[in-house]
Structure 1
Amino acid sequence: MSALRSLQARLALCLAGVMLVAAGIAGTVSYRTAFHEVNELQDDQLRQMSALAKRRHLATPYGLQDLDNQVVDVGARIMVQVLHQGAWGDVEGAELPLPLAADLPDGLQTLEVQGQQRRLFLRTLPGGERVAVSQGTAVRDEVAHNAGKTTIVPIAALIPVLALAMIALIRHMLAPVLRLAQELDRRGDDQLAPLDDSDVPSEVLPFTAAINRLLHRVELALAQQRRFVADAAHELRTPLTAISLQAELLAGLNLGEQARPRLQSLQRGILRARHLVAQLLLLARLQGREDAHRDAVAVGLVCQSVLEDLLPLADHKQIVLTANVDMACSVRSDAMDLSAVLRNLIDNAIRYTQPGGQVGIDIAYRGAALHIHVSDNGPGVPEHERELVLSPFYRGAAATGSGSGLGLAIVHNIVQRMAGTVALNASGPGAGGLTVRIALPIPSTESPALPTPDVLHFQ
């Protein structure tokens, strides 16, 4: 069914059918024409033989005595007889005379003689004798059939050649459509530029034009959505800052025992809201930004800075942070983007790991890529949710941390822009723990000169 839905397959089948019908008609006409021409040629041979007898004015009662019929196949022999004094004479080397009627008319005719079809030409000579030149129709038909077959063989040989050439031409003509499909497949979610339809057939232009209009509408809708998220985040940041200041002022007052826990709960909520707003602003900035020029960034220095910032959060939850980072590693990126990747990965691991847990960071070159692994021994993510958690605002059913559901979405967005990959795996037995594995392309051979040690061990 899928093959019949292919325009290329349907064109090939239809053209192949037309070509076979045309070849059949051409072969039939060629065969019949060749068959007729060969028969005409053989009839002319009979006429020429009779004309030869006329020029020689045969008068012998036994016909032509100089025909060497012994070396010729019996079916192919040309028999020449002369009617002399009312009797047909014999031909040398043949079991003759043939029983021919004496009153046969002159000219070409086909007779059945002794159970065999023969083609016969009769001529009356100037002396009154009559000469009959005949040949069996079986051998004549065989020669004609062979001649007809020789005209069909080239046509039959051309059919597969023409079929292959036809398929190649169809593929060549449909190549622009395939190129457009491949271009669309290679595009990312944010690549909504119009398709280049400069070499697209005119029959496909309405389709590509409709796709370009759809891409434009999608781009406008996404731009409006990003503006809404960014504007909402900006509008929320100011009142949240004011509320946070008011909460700090309240914390300095002499509150009762019942008000103090409620104030602390309020401060935690404000902190989560501010974190969410910051993540929304970062996501809006990433989605609305064109790909910028990237330089070689020292991964170790960025990781060291991020670990120093997140160490208080880890200490508060009594989580052990360990890092094994090759300080010679570098990657082509924006320093803020790389910092956002590491910060969100490590921050997520800390937030979703129970107090007293462990978080490990490993960064090194492996093969043809830079690998960043962040592991924890928290509750982990079920296998069926590992693709979903890369989407914005998705939090698994078993999530217990105070995250916003944007961290991994931001990481995924940045890594995609860097032509890298993100994979989630369990770091412990069963589905326990989570390891986020990132692979980024290795930059050019230059590596920044770093005054730091070759390997950073952080614990």
Structure 2
Amino acid sequence: MNSIRIRLFIVLVVATGIVWLSAFAWVQQSTRTKVERVLDARLAEAGQMVSSLISDQRIDVARTASAFADAATGDALRSSGYSHKLSCQIWSLDGALVGSSQSAPTERLTNQNTGFSSSVVDGERWRVYSVVNEALGMRIMVGDSYTVRDRLVTDVTKGLALPALLMFPIMASLILLSVQRGLAPLERMAAALSQRPADDLSPVVVAPLPREIKPMGDALNGLFSRVDAMRDREKTFTSFAAHELKTPLAGIKTQAQVAEMATDPEMRTQALQRIQFGVERADRMVRQLLALASLDRHSAGTERAADARSVVEAVASDLKRLADDKNVSIQIDWRSDVRTQVNSILLTAALRNVLENAVIVSPNGAEVKIIFTAEENRLLVAVLDRGSGIPEDDRVRITDRFYRGKDAKEGGSGLGLSIVATAMQRLGGTVSFQTRPGGGEIVTLAFATA
């Protein structure tokens, strides 16, 4: 059963039915109790009345029970079907039957001397009230059948139950109508979503939304906003990537044409060197684009976990050839022996780009230093170079995608530090930049220890 409407309808109808049945049982029990109290009071009054008539000698004792029965069962009561079971017996204290009403059984109504009692006479249950007239030596017994009482209770409860049963279909219809009206905002939202084009990620406006549905609407609009931002970022990424790749590819094509037409060996050699430079630039840019695309869908976790020291050593080893070509040395200063597991993909992406930039911007014969240290509950990996540093005006935007500072060297794409910032964000860490005393830059990667 996947329909919320049907489930709500069934739950509400069943719950209302249970409440009604409980109320019906309570009313029936309450009615029975009150009817018994009323009829018991009637029995007591009737018994006292017979005793009073006998004491005042207003009527003959032998006729008292019959006269009482005639008075208690008038024409109106006879037609009601409730009065014919009211019976009276008068017994002497020595056990002789003095008189009885016509409807009274031949057997003694009860063996209890005074007060209320219940008994079975001729297979029928009776409720009896007994009173003793000491002056005349008489015991008066007035009783009615439980059959009459049960019929009274049944008739009262039927009078309550029949209207309720007749109202039940109306109630079910009202519940169904209420459920449909309550779910109408969801249907309006579904209609609004089904009618909009696929490229429309603007917030869904379906007013007014009930308080219970508003969080879902806000969450949906939040999702649209995030998807729209991601789509814009992908558009920008694709546009900038195409533009940035176009430059080195155009340069490679031009230099290839120059090499083909060159008759001078020196000119051909220079053209081939420029082709190699263009290929390296394009290769680096493609690697960075792939790394950035991977980071956009990657999150920090325990997958590909490795020791942070091992990651630093591996990255330094991978870039040794580049450093040798630039006549730059890479030195690692281990100031802490802390061992902690970290996502190797994210830390490798961040450290590789920082270290690669440091090697590229460093002058010939310079040294790039990596300082590995611990501070409280964090690990710090600082990369120090002797390059030209980052101008103050560029520091605010230095981690933006495809942003290249005004003093950036030829061959850069503006992606390296953006990759660093993204990777550290996924890793739950930070990247900071600081001017190095004596020239150069200090880039520090900080992340929590496991």
TM-score normalised over the length of structure 2: 0.45
Which one has the largest radius of gyration? Answer: 2
Q: Which has the higher helix share?
A: 2
TM-score (norm 1): 0.45
